[in-house]
Structure 1
Amino acid sequence: MEASVCTQDVEAGSVWSHSCTLDDLLATYVLDPAAGACLESGPGWTRRWKTVWRASQAEVTCPVQDLAVFPVLASVPVRGFTWRARQRHRPGLAYTLTTGRMHGFESLAERRLLLALDFLDGVEEVLSQPFRLKFITVEGAKDHTPDFLVLLPGTAVLVDVRPGHLIKDKDLVKFAAAERAAAAAGWRYLVVTGWRRHVTAGLDALSARRRPMADRLGLHGELLGLVAERPRRFGELVEETSLPAVARAHALHLLWHRRLAVDLAQPLGDAAWVYPVGGRDG
């Protein structure tokens, strides 16, 4: 049976590439509070609920009450990423510039999240399949493995990724348990069910030029100078440089690295307006 979830794609409002957060990029999703009604909540539940991590080829158990002080960076994915013929999901490895290494994902939806995390400012580390949560409900013991743990300065965000139309009733209980465990650790919890319109296409286009680029022709200065004079449409901007064919790639690079700004809620093409960072008039 498919669960009833509260999810809404927010169409109104701009998503400025130079200052957006993960919340700005995501379709709105609110976990139904009733989903956690069956969870154990009596005294000592944080001691009885456990997290199982993998480190140095061994499993390490940590009560939820100690989750905030667990050395998460010493861990590896608690579950492996496997490939086989005729499987219905699409696992793989994705490189992120932020961490400088490959990260496992179990679906294309998870890969899109990894790309967004690589684009966002402030992400320090991303851990795939970080731990297995063992929790207790009125029906007995259950377990759940969240998809990602995202480390931010001084805090963290625990994330599950599931397209809204695929969420079942049993998933809602697992999400509620993960949310409660994250709150006990002082972390935030998110369920990623979808994205704002045009965001994923825009990030995919920008990511093609996210790696370091040598600017021997001085095109970065030209592009920044032109936009500083006044906002320009992307096609017009590159055409006004000394070498438009090359400037196009450098403009994407500057947008990815937040040195230029664009509204990601609009299609990213030659008609898109490009702004100086911090400037949104025009």
Structure 2
Amino acid sequence: MDKTPFLPADLVQTHPGLALLRLASLVAEGSGADEDTLDLMFEQMEVGALDGLDGAEIWAELARGLMGARPGAMVKALRECGVLEIILPEISAVFGVPQITDTADEIDLGVLIVAALEEAARRAAPLEVRFALLVMHAGKSDSPREHLPVHYRHIERAAPRIDVICERFAVPGVCHDLALLALHECERVQRASPVRAGPLAAMLDRTGAFRDPELFEKLMLVATCDYFAYGDKTGESHPKVDLLTAARAACAGLDAGLDADEAAEARARAIAAAFKSERWAEA
């Protein structure tokens, strides 16, 4: 006897696994995930509905869900029915792992990811921003317990995992590139300081502020959504993103006719002047 549970007619697909993932993506579109829905998804997973699915097919439904109004709800539903562990074990593993906040309190990394995705939806972020928020903590699941909630060297662990995820699902290159940039730079955004004009200029250059403004803006949106995911923030903008945006404005038009070293020096001095970092200028 076929043990596959009945699915609503509008969810029947060529492969039952696609119906399961479509159900998850519908959760992200606001349909909710009640107990019956989660039970159905769990039963489908238990009877092997995901077996044999092509990664690109899985990505199509994941991308649809990530672009929904409630992408965090989709991730929660996938985890609660056991599917996340199968298709994204790297992300499933970070649930329950603590992350320190700027107030020295702790937050569950899974809760942080869910909240960041919800914030991204609220801000109508593009797919690559939402994907970066989903995967950029992937190196923190196996941080040495004696170091928690600090995650030493998580970037080295996360980068190959992000590569594997992108290869598994044939994720678009723009998503892969922004995820790796966010992995390397988001924590540096949080540490940006107006009295460190040289490092600010270098960060702006690394993150595409001058050569690829669209990429820079997307990175700033990743940082903003991650910042507000901690739940204790007020306002609409990330103060460090405001700082970097002002620093970029201070450098407008300075690189014309200059080589790379001269441009870096000019930008650092312009930032120092804009933030009145006289001590840096004298040094």
TM bucket normalised to smaller: under 0.3
More strand by share: 1
- Compare relative contact order (CA 8 Å, sep 6+) and give the higher one, 1 or 2: 1
TM-score normalised by structure 1 residue count: 0.28
TM-score normalised by structure 2 residue count: 0.28
More helix by share: 2
